[in-house]
Structure 1
Amino acid sequence: MDIFSNTSRARLQALYSDFSRQKQSNPTAFQANVEWWRKALESLVDSGVQQTGTGSIGSRLVLQANRALLDCLRLEKVGKPLAMGAVINDLRSRKILISLHKFMASKTSIYDAGWLPYRIASFVVGRPLWWALEQVGIVGDEGVLTSISHSQKETDWWGEYVFVEHVERAADAVLSLQESKTTGPADALYTLDGFRKSFASVFDASNDSLHEVDTRIILKYLERERRVLVLDTEVVKFIDSTTPHDERIITTVDRGILELKSAISNMQRQVDGIHRKMDEYTNKATTALQQKWKSLALSYLKSRKQLEDLRNKRLVSLSTLESTMLSIETAAGDIQIMKTYETSTATLRAVLSHPSLQRENIDKTMDALAEANQDAREIDNVFRTDGDVAVGVDNDDDDIEEELQALVKGIEDERSAQRLQNSQVPSILPAVDEPVKVKVLLPPN
C-alpha cells in the first residue's frame, strides 16, 4: 500500500510500537498515530485482500480485526503493530468503526446519539473528571461501567467492524446507478442475487457480483438510514424516501412484476446461449468442409437448423413477455398519474373551499375595495385643493387659458419684431458679381 511505502522506517517503528499510553501523556501524537492507522486500515479494506473464511473475495466494507490482521500487517525488521487494540478502540469510540453485529441488529439509525444515560454523563461530566474515571475503569471507550479487568484483555478489540464512511460511499454509488436506469416499476425491483449482480460495479467495474456481506450491509443501510428501499426475504424494492409508512411494503403485484422480470432475463439468456451454439455449429461445419468431411458438415448444419427453430420460438416467447411487461408498466404509470390527478384535485378543492374565496366574501371584498379607492381619491383631491389654497394658487381654468394665450402672443410678437429688424440692416458684403480687390502691402527692401 502507498501509505506504507511513503512512510520512513523510523516513523514506521514509532507507529508499530505500543503508543497507547500517549492517549493521556501526549494526546496530539496519539491522535496523529491513530489517523495514520485509520488510513492504512481503510486502504487494506479497500483492496479486498482480507478473506472472509469462505475463500471468496474479501469484503470491501468490513475489517477483520484479529490475529490474522496483525499477521497481515507484519513488517520485516519492524514486527507487528503493538497498539492496534488502542487504535481499534479509538475508532470505535468515534463511530468510525461499528461492530458488524451491532450494525446489522440495531433497530435505530447508527447516527443516533446512543444510550441516554451515557449521553447525559458525557454532557455533564467534565473532561478532567472523565479522564480520572477512565483511569479507574468506571468509564471507557465503549461507555459507562467498563471494568479494569475487561479493558485489559488483549483480544477485546477482536471482531468484525464496518467502516461507516465506506458504507456511505457505497450507498451513494448504488443510488446514483439506480437513478440512472429507473424507467418503470420493474427497474425498482430486484432479487438478492439480481441486486448483487446489478450493482457489482460499485467497488470495482471488473466484479461480477457484490460480496454477500457487503450486500447485506448496503441493503440494511439503505433501508434503515436512507429509507429508500424495502427488503422482504428475497425481494428488494427501491422507493422514495418520502413514501408513507403504510406504503413501505412489497405487494403481490410487486412480486408478480419481479417474477416476470426474472422470466424475461432468463429467456434472454437462453436466446443468447442458443446464438452461441449456432455460431459454434457454423464454425464446425466450415471446418468439416475445409477437411472435405461433407457428411459431418451436414450433421452440424442440421443441428444448427434445429437450434434456429428453437431460437425463433424463444424469440416469440420473449417478445410476448416483453409486451406484457410494457403493458404492466404502462398501467402502473397510469395509476401514478391518476393518483397525482386525485391529489391535485383534492388540493385545488381545499384551496377553493377557503372562506375567503366564497362568492359573498369576494363581492364584499371588491365592494370594500371600491369604496376604499373612492375614499382615497376624495382625500387626494382635498389635499390638492387645500395645498393650492395654502400657497395662494387660483385654479380657475379660464384665467389659466387666457394667461397661456397671452404668453403665446407675446412670443409671436417678439419673433415678428426680430424679423423686421433683420430686414432693415444694410448689407456690408459686396455683390456676388463684383470683383473683390485686395491690396497687398510689401515690406520695404
Structure 2
Amino acid sequence: MNQPLLDYLVEHEPAFRKARLPALYSDFQPQRTLNPDGYQANVSAWRCGLARLVRDGLAPAPRAARPNLLVLHADEPLLRALETKQYGRPLALGAVVREAVAAGDLVPLGPFLTAAESIYRRGGGWSVWNLAGWAMRQLGVADLLLVRRDGVPGGQFVVVGNVEEAGRVFGDGLVDGAPRSRFERTFSRASFCSAFDDRLVEGRRLSEVDMEVLLRFLARDKGVVVYDGDVVRIKNPAVPEPDAITEEDVSIGQLKELLTSLTHQTALLGKRIEELAATAKQAVGKNNRVAALAALRSKKLAESTLGRRFATVAQLEEVAAKIEQAADNVQLVKVMESSGEALRSLHAQVGGAERVEEVVDRLREQMSAVDEVGSILAESAGTVVVDDAEIDDELAELEGDERRKVEEADKARREAQEAREAEEVRKRLEAIEGPPAVVQPEGGEHEDGEKGPGAVEDMMSRMTLEESPSRPAA
C-alpha cells in the first residue's frame, strides 16, 4: 500500500479534494448513463492525476535506470500503488484508462512508435483504438467492462499531454538559441539524448523509452526534426534541406559521437593520471619503492595514451571544422543561386533599362501636361501672381513693429522700477535725518512762548569754550 502517492495527488491536483476521494475511489462506471456529467468529471480528474504522476516520475514502472516521464504502465502495480487503507483500490481505474485511450489522451506504446501517420490525423496507428472505443459505447458493449471493476488493461501507454509539453519546451529552446549550421543541428541518437534529456522536463531526465517516444513525436507529428532511428537532424525552416537523413548526416553524427567519446576518455585519463601521481607520492612517503615505481610506470603509460587521445581529438576537430565549412559553402552557394534567380525574375518583371527609360519619359510628359493645364486654369481664373519680395518686406515690417512694442514695454517697466527704487531711497534718508526744522522770524518767539532762531543764535554767541570761574569754597 502506498498512502503517500494519494497524498501527493491531494496536494498537487485540485480535483483530488479530500471530499471527492470517496467518489473517485468508488465504482462510478454506472454514472456513465445515469449521471454523465459526474462520470466525465471523475474520469477527467483521474486523467490529470495519472498524467501528473507519470510526469513527476512517481508512477510505478518496471525496473529501469530512470522512471518514465512520458509513458504510463497501466497494470497491477499501479493499482497497488494507489490502494489505501481508508478507500481501498480505485475501482473504476480500468474504465478511466479505456476512456483516455478512446479519447486519444493515452496511446498504446507499440502503435505510437510504429504509426506512419501523425496521431493528429484520422487513420493513424492509434485511431483503431478510438474507433473501437466509439463503437463499444454506441453498441452498449462497453457495459461488459463492468465485469472486472478493479482491473486495468495491462500495457504501456504514451501520455500525449506530457509528450506535447516536452515538445513545446524543445521548440521554445530552438527559438531562443537554435543551432544554425547543419553540423550543429545534426546528432547521433546518443549525443542527442545526452544534449537534451535533462532540458525538457524540469528537474528530471528522460528515460530511453521517453526519448524514443519524443523523437518519433517531433519527427512524425511536429515535423521539427528528421529521425531515422540512429541520426537526428533538427530542421531549419529557413534552409531547404532533404526530408530524410543523408550520408552526410550519418557521417556528422558518427563524428560528433566519436568526439564526445574521446573527450570523455581524456577526462577519465586525466583523472587517472592525477590519482597515480598521488599514489606514487604516498608510496615514496612510506618508503615503498616498488609501489612508487609501479604507480609512476602506470602514470607514464596513461600520459602516453592521453597524448594520443588528444592528438586524435585535435585531428577530428579539424575534420569537423572542414565539414562545417564545406556545409556552409554549400548553403552559401544555394543562397547565391536562389538570390540570382530572384534578381533575374525581378529584372524580367521590370522589363530592362529601355522599358524603364520609356516609363520615365512618359511620366515626365504627363507631369509637364499637368503643369501646363494648371497654368491655363490659373490664367483663366484671373489668378494674381504674388510677389514674394513684397511679402517678405511686409513680414519684416510687422516683425519690426512687434519688436518696437516689446522694447517700449521693457523701457516702461525699467522706468517704473527705477522710480520705485528712488522713492524707497528717499524714504530711507528721511527716516535717518529726522523731521526738518521749522523756520521762525529773527529775534522773535513762537506764539507758544518758545524762542526763535534769533534768540538761539544770541545764546550761542555768548557761549565760550573757557570754563566759568568756580565759586569760592565756603
TM range (shorter): 0.7 to 0.9
2:344 pairs, out of 323, 345, 349, with 349
Residues 160, 293 of structure 1: CA spacing in aligned structure 2 closer, same or farther, 3 A cutoff? closer
Is the Cα–Cα contact under 8 Å of residues 271 and 315 in structure 1 kept in the other structure?
yes
How far 1:374 moved relative to its partner?
1.6
1:80 pairs, out of 71, 89, 92, with 89
How far 1:145 moved relative to its partner?
8.2
How far 1:152 moved relative to its partner?
1.5
1:152 pairs, out of 144, 157, 165, with 144
How far 1:219 moved relative to its partner?
0.9
Residues 143, 364 of structure 1: CA spacing in aligned structure 2 closer, same or farther, 3 A cutoff? farther
Correspondence list, 1:2-81, <5 A: 2-5=8-11, 7=16, 9-81=18-90
How far 1:259 moved relative to its partner?
2.4
Residues 156, 114 of structure 1: CA spacing in aligned structure 2 closer, same or farther, 3 A cutoff? farther
Separation in 2, partners of 1:43, 1:170: 13
**Amino acid of the structure 2 residue aligned with 1:16:** Y
Separation in 1, partners of 2:326, 2:267: 30
Deviations 1:214-240 (Å, cap 9, x if unpaired)?
122111111112212222242222223
Separation in 2, partners of 1:243, 1:93: 39
Separation in 1, partners of 2:57, 2:73: 11
Separation in 1, partners of 2:324, 2:354: 47
Separation in 1, partners of 2:297, 2:76: 62
Separation in 2, partners of 1:329, 1:80: 58
How far 1:181 moved relative to its partner?
6.6
1:368 pairs, out of 348, 359, 362, with 362
Equivalent residue, structure 2, for 1:427: none
Equivalent residue, structure 2, for 1:432: none
Query: Does the residue aligned with 1:225 lie in a helix, a strand or coil?
Result: helix
Q: Percent identity?
A: 27
Is the Cα–Cα contact under 8 Å of residues 191 and 235 in structure 1 kept in the other structure?
yes
Is the Cα–Cα contact under 8 Å of residues 227 and 241 in structure 1 kept in the other structure?
no
Equivalent residue, structure 2, for 1:134: none
Is the Cα–Cα contact under 8 Å of residues 225 and 233 in structure 2 kept in the other structure?
yes
Equivalent residue, structure 1, for 2:186: 189
Is the Cα–Cα contact under 8 Å of residues 136 and 142 in structure 2 kept in the other structure?
no
Deviations 1:126-150 (Å, cap 9, x if unpaired)?
xxxxxxxxxxxxx984348854446
Equivalent residue, structure 2, for 1:340: 335
Is the Cα–Cα contact under 8 Å of residues 181 and 187 in structure 1 kept in the other structure?
no
1:200 and 2:197 are equivalent in the alignment: yes
How far 1:158 moved relative to its partner?
4.3
How far 1:396 moved relative to its partner?
8.6
Equivalent residue, structure 2, for 1:331: 326
How far 1:278 moved relative to its partner?
0.7
Residues 181, 268 of structure 1: CA spacing in aligned structure 2 closer, same or farther, 3 A cutoff? farther
2:371 pairs, out of 358, 370, 377, with 377
Separation in 2, partners of 1:105, 1:378: 78
Residues 140, 272 of structure 1: CA spacing in aligned structure 2 closer, same or farther, 3 A cutoff? closer
- TM-score of the superposed pair, with normalisation by structure 2: 0.70
Equivalent residue, structure 1, for 2:244: 249
Separation in 1, partners of 2:47, 2:323: 50
**Amino acid of the structure 2 residue aligned with 1:367:** D
Deviations 1:262-313 (Å, cap 9, x if unpaired)?
2222222221221121111111112112222234323322332232233223
How far 1:60 moved relative to its partner?
0.7
1:168 and 2:174 are equivalent in the alignment: no
Is the Cα–Cα contact under 8 Å of residues 150 and 156 in structure 1 kept in the other structure?
no
Is the Cα–Cα contact under 8 Å of residues 197 and 211 in structure 2 kept in the other structure?
no
Deviations 1:154-213 (Å, cap 9, x if unpaired)?
468544322212101212333455664725433322232333222220336564xx3222
Residues 295, 69 of structure 1: CA spacing in aligned structure 2 closer, same or farther, 3 A cutoff? closer
Query: Does the residue aligned with 1:63 lie in a helix, a strand or coil?
Result: strand
Query: Does the residue aligned with 1:142 lie in a helix, a strand or coil?
Result: helix
Separation in 1, partners of 2:47, 2:279: 58
Equivalent residue, structure 1, for 2:442: none
Query: Does the residue aligned with 2:184 lie in a helix, a strand or coil?
Result: helix
**Amino acid of the structure 1 residue aligned with 2:218:** L
Residues 141, 382 of structure 1: CA spacing in aligned structure 2 closer, same or farther, 3 A cutoff? farther
Deviations 1:40-81 (Å, cap 9, x if unpaired)?
111211232345435443311112223332222112120111
1:359 pairs, out of 346, 353, 359, with 353
Equivalent residue, structure 1, for 2:268: 273
Query: Does the residue aligned with 2:107 lie in a helix, a strand or coil?
Result: strand
Deviations 1:343-399 (Å, cap 9, x if unpaired)?
111111111011x432332232122211211221122122222222xxxx6x599xx
Larger radius of gyration: 2
Separation in 1, partners of 2:203, 2:21: 33
- List structure 1 segments (4+ residues) > 6 angstroms apart after TM superposition: none
Separation in 2, partners of 1:324, 1:55: 38
Separation in 2, partners of 1:243, 1:157: 45
**Amino acid of the structure 1 residue aligned with 2:10:** F
Residues 243, 164 of structure 1: CA spacing in aligned structure 2 closer, same or farther, 3 A cutoff? farther
Equivalent residue, structure 2, for 1:226: 222
How large is the RMSD of aligned CA atoms in angstroms? 3.4
Query: Does the residue aligned with 1:247 lie in a helix, a strand or coil?
Result: coil
Separation in 2, partners of 1:186, 1:97: 36
Equivalent residue, structure 2, for 1:217: 213
Unaligned runs of 5+ in 2: 399-474
